[in-house]
Amino acid sequence: MKPIHFLSTYLILIGIIISCKTQDMVKLDFLVGTWKMEDKETYEVWEKEGNTFKGHVYKLIKGEKHITETLEIKFIEGNIIYSPTVPDQNDGKAIPFRHNRSIKDLISFENKAHDFPKKIQYKVISDTRIHISVLGEDEEGFSYYMVKQ
């Protein structure tokens, strides 16, 4: 009987982990869509494919779309990982930022080993407005608002 008890405990634990993963990822559903930076022709576009969010940032220059960054958020080894890729930085490789679950009033992705940024934070202001902060050492950096299109 002990192997069955172990198996059922294991299955319950797996169910709880999957449930937590799904709940955490659902909290990011607000991202889906196109967001425009206030006062600039810069856009962030997100789609959800299963439990993975894929996106990109682009600028409109003379009516042409120029992608400046690709984005991905997915669940890896028990963590939500935000991975931006900027073509002309970091040898074109994605840099992983881990979701800091201890911060409750915003969504903070962090990589303290990275030079800049060390944190990328999203704060939901309303259904159509978010505030994004890109921070380095001593919380210095820049921030901006985006409006859902």
pLDDT at 78: 86
- Would you say residue 15 has pLDDT above 90? no
Residue range 58-74, pLDDT digits in tens? 999 999 999 999 999 99
pLDDT at 27: 87
CA-CA distances (angstroms) from residue 95 to 35, 67, 105, 133, 147? 22, 17, 24, 17, 26
Pull the structure tokens for residue 107. 């969504």
Torsion, Cα 130 103 77 139, to 10 degrees, reads 80
Q: Mean per-residue pLDDT for 66-84?
A: 95
pLDDT at 8: 53
Mean pLDDT of the chain: 87
Q: Mean per-residue pLDDT for 73-100?
A: 94
Question: What are the φ and ψ backbone dihedral angles of 104, each rounded to 5 degrees?
Answer: -100, -25
- Contact between 98 and 109 under an 8 Å Cβ cutoff? The reply is yes
Could you list the residue range(s) of the whole structural domain that residue 27 is in? 2-148
Query: What is the tally of structural domains in the chain?
Result: 1
**Rounded to an integer, what distance in angstroms lies between the CA atom of residue 75 and that of residue 98?**
10
pLDDT at 111: 97
Residue range 107-143, pLDDT digits in tens? 999 999 999 999 999 999 999 999 999 999 999 999 9
CATH number, residue 119 = 2.40.128.20
- Would you say residue 43 has pLDDT above 80? yes
Determine the 3-state secondary structure of 40 from DSSP: coil
